[in-house]
Amino acid sequence: MLEKFFPKDFNFFDFFDKEMSYAEEACDLFKGIAAKGEVGTEDREKMREIEHSGDKMAYAIIEHLNKTFITPFDREDIHTLAKKLDDVNDMLNTIVSRMKVYKIKEPNKLLIEFSEIIEKAVCALGVAVRGLRDTKHMNKVVEACKQVSAYESEGDKLRDNALGWLVDNEKDPIEFIKWKEIYQEAETVLDICKVVGHVVETILVKQA
Amino acid sequence: MLEKFFPKDFNFFDFFDKEMSYAEEACDLFKGIAAKGEVGTEDREKMREIEHSGDKMAYAIIEHLNKTFITPFDREDIHTLAKKLDDVNDMLNTIVSRMKVYKIKEPNKLLIEFSEIIEKAVCALGVAVRGLRDTKHMNKVVEACKQVSAYESEGDKLRDNALGWLVDNEKDPIEFIKWKEIYQEAETVLDICKVVGHVVETILVKQA
Amino acid sequence: MLEKFFPKDFNFFDFFDKEMSYAEEACDLFKGIAAKGEVGTEDREKMREIEHSGDKMAYAIIEHLNKTFITPFDREDIHTLAKKLDDVNDMLNTIVSRMKVYKIKEPNKLLIEFSEIIEKAVCALGVAVRGLRDTKHMNKVVEACKQVSAYESEGDKLRDNALGWLVDNEKDPIEFIKWKEIYQEAETVLDICKVVGHVVETILVKQA
């Protein structure tokens, strides 16, 4: 009788797992691009596809949310989680787009460092988001959220170092502008990860 | 008896139509300024006035929302629609302010292209927002929202072309900085239009 | 019996007062730094601490909000107020971080002016936020919110003057980039103050 409130064919956890996997895919691709130091035509296309798939997944979650009466956790938290998780892909896509437009052709040590911190943060985020399904192992989720926050602080320091390097060494103003933008966007990916971690923490607090 | 829940003198649809018309006015003015390539003192003043009127309208909607018990659609969607629609004027006002401060004096081909895409997006948005009033012709609204989204993608490509042009041709770093900012803000107007379109789609989904 | 709904040891007003006092502290510190024109190692550390304390306070408010059944005003307004008030510290911390990284060593007349407007806006905000506790003197709160809005307009004009000054006088593109960023961030502090003021106004309207 309550079946229509619990639609068999829609499970929010499955959808968040899928959305999370797009963020992981985008993150892997970005790490490879940073290592190569150049955005190939195929990379550009692949990143755009991931971003598009993530976008569709986020809207599917929100659309189902709007049609569903009973949800596993607060409606507003589902909405925020779907949107903010999608912002991870969006920002990685923006960086890759900028690298292509700015004709970056060489690996950049600092960008590689950013890509490694981003990978760790997204990996911890995967533990947090996938852990929401099972309320028995909440400590693991709390721990993962703390890690995300720590990676964001690491990113802050790296951004300061990166801008400091530019001020001391980059005499070409156009190059200064390009790299300042790319470094700041890379740090923004970590800011977004931190926000997603906070949404997960909020969900935990409400269920406690 | 229920009269106080349906105040005769306040109709959300009328107010959204009015707020929409400010966005259209701002958009027309911006298109004219882009074509001329220069911001006259009167243009600057006019844009500020439109932005101010739009602001007042958005706050009037939110104030009435907070005093009204029954609303034609979800409270949070009314709030978001009022705010985001206002962001269109805000961003156009910012661009015009920057053009004036940066002493732009010549028409710029790429900015003219942006102004034309923005006009098309705002026009489609007008169809979407005004269409909310009558639930009988929902296909028209859905179609208009899709168009807004397509114009945003067009804007993304134009922004990439514009930044690519700067990288290849603009050797004066100060000019590079000015135009990079203006182009990115112009693309942001289209991002905002896309967000407004999504709010309209959300309202439709909930009413389906 | 209703005791658990009104926890004796948690008072939202006390917590907002405390969060407000961190914003005031950050603002004082920033004014001193702007006057000196240089960020000492101790200043940097102190600002980071204030930002961190503000952050913890905002999350304490949100965590208690999520565990509390009855609140003195709308839940979403408590959430927004806690977050946006925290953004004041975040942005001041960002400016100080940038000044340090960009190796600013001399007082800058325009930045001093910004720090003075920010001080006035944060002071008016203190009257508004602290005034929420006592619904008897609402006119004072309304007046303070109007003042915040007026300071934000003053900040807009100062930002335009500052950017105009850079365009006319700053021939070194790297210096142009640094100061453009700092001036725009200083103006963003005032934008955030305006948003906080609007949240306070929203709370008043709902209680009217």
Taking the mean position of all CA atoms in its chain, how far away is CA C10? Answer: 23
pLDDT tens digits for range A44-102: 999 999 999 999 999 999 988 888 888 888 888 999 999 999 999 999 999 999 999 99
- State mean pLDDT over C153-171: 97
Is the pLDDT assigned to residue B68 strictly greater than 60? Answer: yes
Q: In 3D, which of B55, B46, B71 has the Cα closest to residue B19?
A: B55
Q: Is A65 on the interface with B (CB under 8 A)?
A: no
Q: Is C167 on the interface with B (CB under 8 A)?
A: yes
C85 Cα to chain B: minimum distance (Å): 19
CA distance A126 to A120: 10
At residue B9, the pLDDT reads: 58
ipTM of this complex prediction, to 2 decimal places? 0.91
Q: How confident is the model at residue C9 (pLDDT cuts 50, 70, 90)?
A: low
At residue C5, the pLDDT reads: 46
At residue C135, the pLDDT reads: 74
CA distance A61 to A74: 13
Check CB contact under 8 Å for A174 and B180.
no
Which contiguous run of DSSP H or E holds residue A117?
helix A109-131
Q: How confident is the model at residue B111 (pLDDT cuts 50, 70, 90)?
A: very high
Rounded to a whole number of angstroms, the CA Rg of chain C reads 18
Q: Is B175 on the interface with C (CB under 8 A)?
A: no
- Residue pLDDT tens, chain A, 208 long: 344 444 555 789 999 999 999 999 999 999 999 999 999 999 999 999 999 999 999 999 998 888 888 888 888 899 999 999 999 999 999 999 999 999 999 999 999 999 999 999 999 999 999 999 887 888 999 999 999 999 999 999 999 999 999 999 999 999 999 999 999 999 999 999 999 999 999 898 887 7
Check CB contact under 8 Å for A167 and C66.
no
- State mean pLDDT over C66-92: 92
B150 Cα to chain C: minimum distance (Å): 31
Q: Is A42 on the interface with C (CB under 8 A)?
A: no
- Interface size A-C, in CB pairs within 8 Å, comes to 28
Could you give the 3-state DSSP secondary structure of residue A120? helix
CA distance C161 to C169: 12
CA distance C206 to C14: 21
Q: Is A2 on the interface with C (CB under 8 A)?
A: no
CA distance C58 to A105: 43
Query: If you ran DSSP here, which 8-state letter would residue B70 be given?
Result: -
Q: Is C175 on the interface with B (CB under 8 A)?
A: no
Q: What global pTM score does this model have?
A: 0.93
Structural domains of chain C sorted by starting position, each given as residue range(s) with its CATH number in brackets = 11-207 (1.20.58.220)
pLDDT tens digits for range B146-196: 999 999 999 999 999 999 999 999 999 999 999 999 999 999 999 999 999
B201 Cα to chain A: minimum distance (Å): 9
DSSP codes joined into one string, chain C: -GGGGS-TT--HHHHHHHHHHHHHHHHHHHHHHHHHTS--HHHHHHHHHHHHHHHHHHHHHHHHHHH-S--SS-HHHHHHHHHHHHHHHHHHHHHHHHHHHTT--S--HHHHHHHHHHHHHHHHHHHHHHHTT-GGGHHHHHHHHHHHHHHHHHHHHHHHHHHHHHHHH---HHHHHHHHHHHHHHHHHHHHHHHHHHHHHHHHHHH-
CA distance C160 to B101: 6
CB B128 within 8 A of CB B146: no
**Nearest CB neighbour to A97, from listed B160, B206, B208:** B160
Torsion of CA B175, B176, B180, B181, to 10 degrees: -50
